[in-house]
Amino acid sequence: MKLVIQRVSEASVKIEGQIKSTIGTGVLVLVGIEDADGPEDIEWLSKKLINLRIFPDELGVMNRSLVDMNGEVLLISQFTLQASTKKGNRPSYIKAAKPDVAIPMYESFIQKVEELLGRSVGTGEFGADMKVSLVNDGPVTILIDSQNRV
């Protein structure tokens, strides 16, 4: 699984012109799932996400996590994170998990993050044409790939 984590002061997602989810201070997370991903990736990434110290403390040092500051989360599925651009100019998505695998993984990831945070998170809709808006705070953008843990 790949995550693109963006620290935001606000973010929202619209589907067919209607707001599906909106958050204030927290993180917008784009989630890309590949066939090699499993429950251990969900476990590792969900803990990493909520404990990642990317929010400023009273001295302005990035030393606080989502848990520390009661930050909000917006999770958006994005298969294009699994794009391979090694050959030619047209990205290949051969590593991206098909919906029958990716949807349950995305839903499990949402549930695990909610369980660890103790509250619900905002989401998009798997496979929908979404319009995502955000105000990137910092900007702070972190990339994490569970296949590169070591």
8 Å CB contact between 143 and 73: no
Active site residues: 78-80
DSSP 86: S
Q: Please tell me whether residue 128 adopts helix, strand or coil conformation.
A: coil
CA distances to 33, 35, 45, 59 from 39, in Å? 12, 12, 10, 37
Task: State how far the Cα of 51 lies from the Cα of 44, in Å rounded to an integer.
Answer: 11
